[in-house]
Structure 1
Amino acid sequence: MIRSVPRRTVLALLAGLPAAALLAACSDSGSGGAEAQAPQAPAPEAPATPAPATPPAAAAPAPSGKVDMAKLLEEGALPEKTIGNADAPVTIVEYASMTCGHCANFHNETLPVIKERYIDTGKARMVFREFPFDPRAEAGFMLARCADDKYFAMIDVLFKQQRNWAGVDNAREALLQIARLAGFSQEAFEACLTDQKLLEDVRAVRTRGATDFGIDATPTFFINGNKYSGALKVDEMSAIIESLL
């Protein structure tokens, strides 16, 4: 069952709920997909190195299911957020939660390599969709949506700083400081997180993912319709994409 939070409580809950209760699991049930896990600290930054011209050989993991791509790509409650060429032969649809440690690891460690190898070269595009498990994840997504054309920049910052806001006692203050660095005033921050229509739309994206596509864990990927649950590593996602080119 999709958990929900009563009307207009997301902003208040950011400060009020115990942090231990909000170290969001990466699955609803603990079965299938990514294992429940507290947010993890991003790995220390290392000097950038060029991605190999040819990805290392690896066997593509077997998908756990398949969905109809036409249905998957139908318009939902919110405008799609995508990176890459719309005509790319491979489409990756990711459902993620902002407080999921596995999602942060994927975005901080794997996605930059996949972007350089496949998205920036026109071979793949990514569609990113919201699947929040708790009020803090909802708040993170709402702030990203309120950032308009800085949506992905906000998502990147929130994943990189996940340990600084997802598991602290007062997430409201922590998120406000991050939002201020992104150009939000306190008034804009509060207006965003009390926007009931936006909250309902974020929840609608999650509800559709769960009811129409059977998502119960994050991250979940659909790559040309094939379903994969869990944070794919670089060689795994590379093997999947290469098999579709």
Structure 2
Amino acid sequence: MQRTLFFAVAAVALVVAAVLFVVLRPKPASGALDAARGARFAIGNPEAKVVVVDFSNYLCGHCRDHAGEVFPLIKRDYIDTGKIRYVFRDFPFTGQENVIRAGEAAACAADHNLYVEYHEALFRGQLQWAGLGGEALDRYFADLGGQIGIAPATMLDCLRSGQKRAGVLADQRLALDLGLTGTPSFFVNGEKFTGQRPYQSWREILDRALAQAGTANP
């Protein structure tokens, strides 16, 4: 009887300990996390002293506006000139399987060095694929790849392999660990900025960051 009671008490203790571990374990402190950690897609000077990390959602209207109207100017003036490094990250919201799939498709395009082109194409076609799912969604993404020079069959094979999903979900977890609740969200050398802003505001942010980093920006 005592032996049975001992094992019963021990089992309960293990369950309680496991629950306490999950509840009380230290949570990641957003200030201690590097938003660029493990980034899969980045453009610009790898040695740049200013790094911008862009968390976007492919069905976010403000993200679309940033990608189509503001990002090209940032690219022209700061990325192509070697002043900054620009990192792209996915932030699908809970239940957005089509956004996860869009992130997978962009990752497939990256295998052909066409990530940025596909990233922009996804935003341009946002309203066309927003209501699609399953095979119809995959075929749309494959056709979109064909428009920028990737064979649709190749895109379909990549999507069906499922090999890109883990990377999208890793970005999502990092966004949540960083405390992000919406898109677009950005980090500029660790400083967080949320929401869409005009290019002039971006110029001020980037010029200030460059000055603080000791980089001349004539």
Q: What is the TM-score normalised by the length of structure 1?
A: 0.64
User: What is the deviation of 1:84?
Assistant: 1.0
Residue matched to 1:157: 121
- Provide closer, same or farther for how the CA distance between residues 67 and 232 of structure 1 changes in structure 2, counting only shifts above 3 A: farther
| Aligned residues with identical type, % of pairs | 30
Residue matched to 1:236: 201
1:210 paired to 2:176? yes
- Provide closer, same or farther for how the CA distance between residues 68 and 225 of structure 1 changes in structure 2, counting only shifts above 3 A: farther
| 2:52–2:188 CA contact under 8 A, matched in 1 | yes
RMSD value over aligned CA atoms? 2.2
Q: What is the TM-score normalised by the length of structure 2?
A: 0.71
Which has the greater radius of gyration?
Answer: 2
Equivalent of residue 87 in structure 2, options 119, 122, 127: 127
User: What is the deviation of 1:225?
Assistant: 0.6
Equivalent of residue 136 in structure 1, options 98, 108, 116: 98
SS in 1 for 2:45: coil
Equivalent of residue 146 in structure 1, options 105, 108, 126: 108
**Partner Cα separation in structure 1 for residue 89 and residue 59 of structure 2:** 14
Residue matched to 1:196: 162
| 1:96–1:130 CA contact under 8 A, matched in 2 | yes
User: What is the deviation of 1:67?
Assistant: 3.4
Equivalent of residue 102 in structure 1, options 31, 39, 62: 62
What residue ranges of structure 1 are gaps of 5+ in the alignment? 1-65
**Partner Cα separation in structure 2 for residue 68 and residue 215 of structure 1:** 14
**Partner Cα separation in structure 1 for residue 142 and residue 115 of structure 2:** 16
Structure 2: which amino acid aligns with 1:235?
Answer: Q
**Partner Cα separation in structure 2 for residue 68 and residue 241 of structure 1:** 22
- Provide closer, same or farther for how the CA distance between residues 84 and 73 of structure 1 changes in structure 2, counting only shifts above 3 A: same
- Provide closer, same or farther for how the CA distance between residues 194 and 171 of structure 1 changes in structure 2, counting only shifts above 3 A: closer
| 1:110–1:233 CA contact under 8 A, matched in 2 | yes
| 1:67–1:227 CA contact under 8 A, matched in 2 | no
| 1:154–1:182 CA contact under 8 A, matched in 2 | yes
User: What is the deviation of 1:73?
Assistant: 3.0
Give the number of aligned pairs: 175
Structure 2: which amino acid aligns with 1:120?
Answer: D
| 1:93–1:222 CA contact under 8 A, matched in 2 | yes
User: What is the deviation of 1:186?
Assistant: 4.9
Residue matched to 2:11: none
User: What is the deviation of 1:221?
Assistant: 0.1
SS in 1 for 2:114: helix
**Partner Cα separation in structure 1 for residue 145 and residue 122 of structure 2:** 10
